[in-house]
Structure 1
Amino acid sequence: MNYLHDQGITHRDLKPENILLASDSNETLIKVTDFGLSKFVDAGSIMRTFCGTPTYLAPEILKTAGNGAYTKAIDCWSLGVILFICLAGYPPFSDERKDIDLPKQILGGHYTFPKQYWKGISESAIDLIKKLMTTDPQKRITSAEAVNHPWFKDEDMKAKANQLMYPDSDGMVPPSNVPSSKKRSLEEGEESSAKRKSSADTTSPPTSP
């Protein structure tokens, strides 16, 4: 998702059903799918459409109800809900709750971490969920910040992830995204170098005195 956000793409319907497994192995790549509600956002566009799956909707979508703008931060909220479900086995918000209806649960950020379900979960993981599921989008952690959260600093986990993503890299991870302007400069430099080499190859060798 951090990669998509870097490309100006907001998914807008993140949920477990839209995350697929590449194989039946216990350790495998995941694939984000169903971009039917996704939106490419640049400096001249905004998002207002009321869309998404109810239990994964960010509070600001409910607040604006199609009458106000929201940002890619909605995806980070949904990621928090997904992480909550992955670790606890149940959703943080439910329309089966009798004391408070679903919209109010989300708008008020009314979720808890009961010890009987969370006693084996690290404080670091819980902290990341809280930062992702912050009701104020201005204070919510971004996808880039989430990737750098302490919970992702497990070296064994990162090594396994890199091996899955880059199986033929011999442990070497490809460099991070190069900005398009820099990429063009590199390509132009490579082209100039190739021209120089071609010119050198076709130049007649100096004659002996």
Structure 2
Amino acid sequence: MSWLDRNKINELHHNARLNLRRYRPPEVLLKNPNQTTAVDIWASGVIMVSILSGCYPFFKASDDFDALAEITTVFGGEVVRKTAEKMSRHICMSRSNQPLHLRKLCVRLRRPPTSGGSVTSVDDKEMNMDFSADIFPDSAYDLMSKLFTVDPQKRISAAEALDHPFFKENM
């Protein structure tokens, strides 16, 4: 094998690891040894939020630390801290932010970009947003929130997900 071939293999391996990081749940990022199939449920949530927000990749972290910071930004510091404690892990945060409203976030990300503002800032108009014209049903967001439960012990199972009203209403 030539140097060029080995270099290409290393590059592909690095890119594969980088792409998989975007699907890693908190329990993987916290290096919890007791991982279950709940990791796959989280990955389904990442796929679903990408569809509902029109934003791929949704999580863009380049390392585990940044990935956990992104999860904390979206789902709130307190729930991540409590989940870490249940896994005998400790997270030190300078401040604990409130979770973002996932539906508002998805709707905002689907809109054309405006100058100023960030994903984490929601103006008064967005706080009172009317979701009746949303192209996705309420059940889609409900399922997504259950796929994205930070605590893996409370996360919906695959069987429960398949039995969710979203699939019954939209199939």
Aligned to 1:54: 21
Q: Are residues 52 and 145 of structure 1, via their aligned partners in 2, closer, same or farther at CA, if it must alter by over 3 Å?
A: farther
Identify which of 151, 175, 186 aligns with 2:166.
151
Aligned to 1:72: 37
Identify which of 93, 99, 102 aligns with 2:59.
93
TM-score (norm 1): 0.42
Identify which of 110, 125, 146 aligns with 1:131.
146
- Deviation track 1:92-148 (CA, whole Å, cap 9, x = no partner) reads 32238xxx9322222565363333328322211011001001110011000000001
- Deviation track 1:174-193 (CA, whole Å, cap 9, x = no partner) reads xxxxxxxxxxxxxxxxxxxx
Distance 1:126 1:54 in 2: 23
SS at match of 2:50: helix
- Residue 88 of structure 1 and its aligned partner are, at CA, apart by 2.2
- Deviation track 1:154-208 (CA, whole Å, cap 9, x = no partner) reads 36x2xxxxxxxxxxxxxxxxxxxxxxxxxxxxxxxxxxxxxxxxxxxxxxxxxxx
Distance 1:51 1:145 in 2: 30
Question: Gaps (5+ residues) in structure 2?
Answer: 1-16, 76-99, 111-130
Equivalent pairs, count: 102
Contact 2:61 2:70 in 1 (8 A): no
Q: Are residues 53 and 107 of structure 1, via their aligned partners in 2, closer, same or farther at CA, if it must alter by over 3 Å?
A: farther
Q: Are residues 142 and 52 of structure 1, via their aligned partners in 2, closer, same or farther at CA, if it must alter by over 3 Å?
A: farther
Contact 1:108 1:135 in 2 (8 A): no
Give % identity: 38
- Deviation track 1:28-73 (CA, whole Å, cap 9, x = no partner) reads xxxxxxxxxxxxxxxxxxxxxx998111001100112xx6221110
Distance 2:19 2:61 in 1: 16
Distance 1:85 1:120 in 2: 14
TM-score (norm 2): 0.51
Contact 2:21 2:61 in 1 (8 A): no
Distance 1:73 1:103 in 2: 17
Q: Are residues 61 and 72 of structure 1, via their aligned partners in 2, closer, same or farther at CA, if it must alter by over 3 Å?
A: same
SS at match of 1:74: helix
**After TM superposition, where is structure 1 displaced by more than 6 Å over at least 4 residues in a row?**
none
Q: Which amino acid aligns with 2:168?
A: K
Aligned residues: CA RMSD? 3.0
Aligned to 2:155: 140
SS at match of 2:30: helix
The higher relative CO (CA closer than 8 Å, separation ≥ 6) is in 2
SS at match of 1:138: coil
